[in-house]
Chains A and B, each alone.
Chain A
């Protein structure tokens, strides 16, 4: 194993000191002179045509400075850039509203009281339309049509067939199992609500501060919304208080703030309330999955055949790619001869789905990993063993025509089996305690939306010795700032404290597509590494000349630029920098651009290697079921993840814990209750994310497989941590009680009824 100075170490977060003192600036902490408060008017109806909007009374209120509606936008609808989708969302409603919460207009006023008062005075004339809330009902002929540009409410209906035709494989199977599973929605519930601040100069340039996961795509969306060229728009992302996918495409507050600011001539801040977060942002797509698994009695999987009905909600957002990925997930962690995936993505008049860590893969794996356990029982093979028999390995070619590069899946499974005492606990777990296992693959850096998947970086070394890294990558709490600084410090052989990072300002930082798909470490990391290496090479040349040798003999270590093998001959780092300036007139600057080895995703066939790498992992969980109340308590999770190389193990463990917490919530506690499109529990009190009291014990094991393409062998891993927990819990509940859970979140009453039934059948 290579010994590194900085990467591979659990160094503290570079943005940590500002965060523990309250110095870190989040978008809501920005106060500009003369700034107004803005608020968005939202539809109270799940489905209605807008006949007329009268803003006159609102404008008359003292302190109201501007009111905007759809007419003030470019009137262009937008969508994620994807071939199969037609833009379907207006930034502010143009013709119809399609869910309770849909944006209609916005007001800016001197203070929030006045803005709220004015909002009530905007008169909207609606023609209320019949609405549909269930995806199956939405697909019935005669259901109310939600988007008139389509003939039905089916946004997309892919049918993918990979490998050998599934219908011809039945004969090869000794056992075929079939079952249905359902997942409900989940809300990101990041702690920082969405916030945007916008201000214009007198030459038509707008600056927007926004809590977003992707300032570059945010800017593209503003170009579409405002109808002005991109070089007139500057998007800056301050510290972000969590995203988990939810802050990828919430552009409405920025659009509203920018329009209000333009009209009023003053800066405008729009801060979402927590209720708006629960009702009018994005959430996880609910799925209804039917899965058939065919296998041989020796444990070899032969085919997977799935049908999926996905509840899109009112608009597309990430619906198509989430739907695709749910199917793709069937091809990527087990070797199988054929896969068929038949999905329907249906619009409904409800809050709509977006990106959420797990992205369809998670919902499908709840289903797949539960059925793998059911199969294990049926053919009497240990659940861990069955997974090992079928796990993909390094250099495997998948039926979807993708290739696995680095792969530690088998090792992850073996590690959790060992570290959790799986075999022993499977035998004796005690009354109503159980263990369950599941594993996963997760994509690293998928090329979903654009022809490129790039990131760029530049490194500038000033004669004060500080190394300044400019990157478009966004740290939303996952620690990318720190990881990138570690990479630069490692390449240049310097201390972390010498590296400063500048990011997320579209005027200053180079382009990056954003934080999603576990891509930042891999892509931005490589870009930063290339940039640092170019800077390093410039210094190496200068030093080599001064020392009368060739650059290949120069090493960067312990803050020095010196002759390898003869360290007294050399320079302190800052001396070498000054030498470059004084001897050569050179300010050392390195640039790097990285576009990973992946193809653009083929939405028609769902085939190809449209990602840079795959991460893998496995978890064993231990649960305790209370026979009196039906409550399920998550006691312990043993997790192993193939991260390629752990640039910051401390950070990875933190990601592991956090993702598992989300998964725990999704499986056992969290559910938005929706009635006729109305979310009834839009608060932290009534929507139960785990508190510290719920935290289980977690043992996080990192497996390193050294990816051939990742920086120092690292690849993205954190999203994957959220994936195997739900099926592992379901499998553990089965072990503890004999009750098979097919719908999450788990319902206590279902457990109690199941226990009663089992008690009866025993008598």
Chain B
């Protein structure tokens, strides 16, 4: 039986009628057209599907959409504001942290959450903060640098 679910995504409210077995990732991509969140493994292991729920990074591919009914969700599409990139996005560009870009949305959201809780993280803390986000292109170092520089 379909469930009535309210999702607040990037500060916009969506009232949806969805099958309970749908994951948040599939609802974001297939139903809301927000394809910035990526499906890297669909198994909760690579972090490419990371979104923020009430500011906390979670894996949308193993989270049922019904489970985040009424919660505030931030995807990569909601990071830049009014056409202005967030300092973290700018840092990713400036310091060479983007190659194929597939892990980038998840990385940025994990980085955002980290800096929100810890504005001046050490390199070890940054590594830990993105330890749930796999990257196969960059070897992580420039991503770590970008997050560090975007901090205080």
Interface residues in chain A, defined as those with a beta carbon under 8 Å from any beta carbon in chain B? 10, 12-13, 15-26, 28-29, 31, 188-193, 239-242, 244, 271, 273-274, 476-479, 650-651, 653-662, 683-685, 689-693, 695, 698
Contact = CB atoms under 8 A, between A and B. Distances in A.
Contact of A661 (B29, B131, B139): B139
A47 to B, nearest CB: 29
23 contacts: A10-B96, A19-B101, A20-B85, A20-B93, A20-B104, A21-B36, A21-B76, A22-B35, A28-B35, A189-B136, A190-B102, A191-B135, A239-B101, A242-B99, A242-B136, A274-B40, A274-B46, A657-B138, A658-B138, A691-B131, A691-B132, A692-B126, A692-B127
Nearest to A15: B101
B102 to A, nearest CB: 3
Given A21-B80, A242-B137, A13 B40 contact: no
User: Shortest 5 CB-CB distances between A and B: which pairs?
Assistant: A22-B36, A477-B100, A19-B101, A241-B102, A657-B139
Given A16-B92, A26-B102, A191-B40, A689 B136 contact: yes
Contacts of A691: 131-132, 134
Contact of B77 (A21, A661, A695): A21
A16 B40 contact: no
Contacts of A240: 100
B122 interface: no
Q: Is the interface of B mostly helix, strand, loop or mixed?
A: loop
A63 B102 CA distance: 32
A572 B131 CA distance: 50
Given A20-B104, A192-B100, A693-B127, 19 more contacts: A12-B94, A16-B92, A16-B98, A17-B85, A21-B36, A21-B85, A22-B37, A28-B39, A191-B48, A191-B103, A191-B135, A240-B100, A241-B38, A241-B102, A242-B136, A650-B96, A654-B137, A689-B136, A695-B139
B98 A692 contact: no
Nearest to A477: B100
Contact of A190 (B79, B92, B136): B136
B60 interface: no
B95 to A, nearest CB: 8
B85 A190 contact: no
Contacts of B50: none
B134 A658 contact: no
A477 B76 contact: no
Residue in A28, A240, A241 with the greatest tally of chain B CB atoms within 10 Å: A241
Contacts of A31: 30, 33, 35
B41 A274 contact: yes
B69 interface: no
A177 B136 CA distance: 37
B99 A654 contact: yes
Residue in B99, B134, B142 with the greatest tally of chain A CB atoms within 10 Å: B99
Nearest to A241: B102
Contacts of A17: 85, 93
A692 B133 contact: yes
A189 B135 CA distance: 9
Contacts of A478: 99
A242 B96 contact: no
Given A13-B98, A241-B102, A658 B136 contact: yes
Contact of A20 (B39, B46, B108): B108
A247 B100 CA distance: 13
Contacts of A661: 136, 138-140
Interface string B118-152: 00000000111011111111111111100000000
B105 interface: yes
A685 B136 contact: no
B96 A476 contact: no
Contacts of A655: 99
A28 B35 CA distance: 9
Nearest to A21: B80
A685 B85 contact: no
A657 B140 contact: yes
Nearest to B105: A22
Contacts of A658: 99, 136-139
B3 interface: no
Residue in A16, A22, A190, A650 with the greatest tally of chain B CB atoms within 10 Å: A22
Contacts of A15: 98, 101
A22 B140 contact: no
Contacts of B45: 274, 683-685
A29 B48 CA distance: 14
Contacts of A13: 93, 96, 98-99
A631 to B, nearest CB: 17
Contact of A274 (B33, B43, B94, B133): B43
B48 to A, nearest CB: 6
Nearest to A661: B139
A244 B135 CA distance: 13
B127 A662 contact: no
Contacts of A683: 41, 43, 45
A23 B36 contact: yes
Residue in A190, A192, A656 with the greatest tally of chain B CB atoms within 10 Å: A192
Contacts of B138: 654, 657-658, 661
Contacts of B95: 650
A190 B100 CA distance: 9
A24 B134 contact: no
Contacts of A24: 101
A192 B100 CA distance: 9
Contacts of A660: 139
A571 B102 CA distance: 42
Nearest to A695: B140
Contact of A242 (B79, B100, B133): B100
Given A21-B85, A192-B40, A684-B46, A477 B101 contact: yes
Contact of B140 (A188, A477, A692): A692
A16 B30 CA distance: 24
A89 to B, nearest CB: 26
B42 interface: yes
Contacts of B79: 21
Nearest to B101: A19
Contact of A26 (B30, B38, B96, B135): B38
Nearest to A10: B96
Nearest to A277: B41
Given A19-B101, A22-B35, A192-B100, A698 B137 contact: no
B96 A698 contact: no
Contacts of A695: 127, 139-141, 144
Contacts of A241: 38, 100-102
Nearest to A195: B39
A290 B75 CA distance: 52
A691 B140 CA distance: 8
B140 A20 contact: no
A385 B18 CA distance: 68
A654 B142 contact: yes
Nearest to A655: B99
A453 to B, nearest CB: 25
Interface in B16-57: 29-30, 33-43, 45-46, 48
Contact of A22 (B77, B100, B136): B77
Contacts of A698: 139, 141
Contacts of B139: 654, 656-661, 690, 695, 698
B42 A274 contact: yes
A479 B142 CA distance: 14
B151 to A, nearest CB: 16
A193 B98 CA distance: 18
